[in-house]
Structure 1
Amino acid sequence: MRHGAIPGSRGAVRPLRLFGDPALRAPCEEVTAYDAELARLIEDLYATMYAAHGVGLAANQIGVGLRVFVFDCPDDEDHRHLGHVVNPRPVAADGVTVRGPEGCLSLPGLEAGTPRHDHVVIEGATMTGEPVRIEGTGFFARCLQHECDHLDGGLFIDRLAGLRRRRALRAIRRAPWAPTGGADAVEA
């Protein structure tokens, strides 16, 4: 029995924006039109996320400044969570704060222990404008918080401090995809 198309199967893989690209630091605009263009963007986000072997992807990571992200992410019990959120807003972030490994498709190869809440609730809409509420724990909560940060112009390295932050910035400066402009470009 067929249950519809696989998310992203009709989408185009778009180039990922890498650290240093201004699109990653600009807060995204609210989506106001729930139309075919939005549906196409969501398909492209899925296609790009799967091609890059990610578990989540925000629209600004492909250069689109709209508040939308997709995910296909397990939680700590290995339950799969698949979906998208338009105009997401965190309504709860609580539980213990856990420092866990975190990476980003826009900072390829970089990973650092990043503090995140172990439980989060996100509210928003589907691509058709229907209200949606998503609750995540563990790794899935980390994913939801990570993608919401992207839509506000944030990166996981912004949550690092001290030695972890210095090591991450040093790794960025040495990366083959590092932005030009020296250390100042990396300290963004």
Structure 2
Amino acid sequence: MIREVLKYPDERLAIECDDIDEITDDIRQLAADMVETMYREDGIGLAAPQVGANCRLIVVDVSGPEKRESLMTFINPRLEPLGDEKVESEEGCLSVPALRAKVERHERVRLTARDLDGNEVCMDADGLLAICLQHEIDHLGGTLFIDRISRLKRSLYDAKVKKWLKARRSR
């Protein structure tokens, strides 16, 4: 089932998510819904809080949006940087429409998590996958990529959002 993607400035996007203690049918359904929603929105990653669920669950498929060959689902994901190297890349977000901005991230990371069967996952990532994992796991801590951009860019975007919200209310 396609779920609504919450948009900034929805306050639910700023909440730190709870760990998932048990992988239930509801969690599996949430993951399936998130995958369907991510693909429908042409995203390469989606975190549970973006669809209003306060739990540590992400789905990622960096083969997209053209292809859909590398779907990964992670429960209670944690990251640790591998080395001090950073990379700057342009990011966008399904919850932050009409904005793309350069964000600095770790070049390489180690992910530890569980899959939907409860199996432990440990993998090293670099490139687009490392960036996507950091972006999605940020969501689980209530952080959006716009929290990592310059104050000027952020204030310009905030002003634009206020204008959009005002226009919607006056309809």
Normalised TM-score (structure 1): 0.80
Question: Is the Cα–Cα contact under 8 Å of residues 81 and 106 in structure 2 kept in the other structure?
Answer: no
Equivalent position of 2:169 in the other structure: none
> Could you say what secondary structure the match of 1:109 adopts?
strand
1:117 and 2:76 aligned: no
1:173 and 2:159 aligned: yes
Query: Could you say what the CA RMSD is over the residues aligned between the two structures, in angstroms?
Result: 2.1
* Separation of aligned partners in 2, 1:122 and 1:73: 15
In the alignment, which of 11, 29, 40 is matched to residue 22 of structure 1?
Answer: 11
* Separation of aligned partners in 2, 1:45 and 1:138: 23
Identity %: 33
Task: Please give the residue correspondences for 1:10-89 in structure 2 after superposition, counting only pairs within 5 Å.
Answer: 12-74=1-63, 81-89=70-78
In the alignment, which of 76, 100, 107 is matched to residue 96 of structure 2?
Answer: 107
Following TM superposition, by how much is the alpha carbon of 1:178 offset from its aligned partner in structure 2, in angstroms?
4.8
Q: Show structure 1 runs of 4+ deviating over 6 A.
A: none
Task: Figure out how many residues of one structure are paired with residues of the other and give that number.
Answer: 163
Normalised TM-score (structure 2): 0.87
Following TM superposition, by how much is the alpha carbon of 1:166 offset from its aligned partner in structure 2, in angstroms?
1.3
Following TM superposition, by how much is the alpha carbon of 1:177 offset from its aligned partner in structure 2, in angstroms?
8.4
> After alignment, is 62-71 or 80-89 more displaced?
80-89
Equivalent position of 1:9 in the other structure: none
Question: Is the Cα–Cα contact under 8 Å of residues 16 and 61 in structure 1 kept in the other structure?
Answer: yes
Following TM superposition, by how much is the alpha carbon of 1:158 offset from its aligned partner in structure 2, in angstroms?
1.3
Following TM superposition, by how much is the alpha carbon of 1:95 offset from its aligned partner in structure 2, in angstroms?
4.8
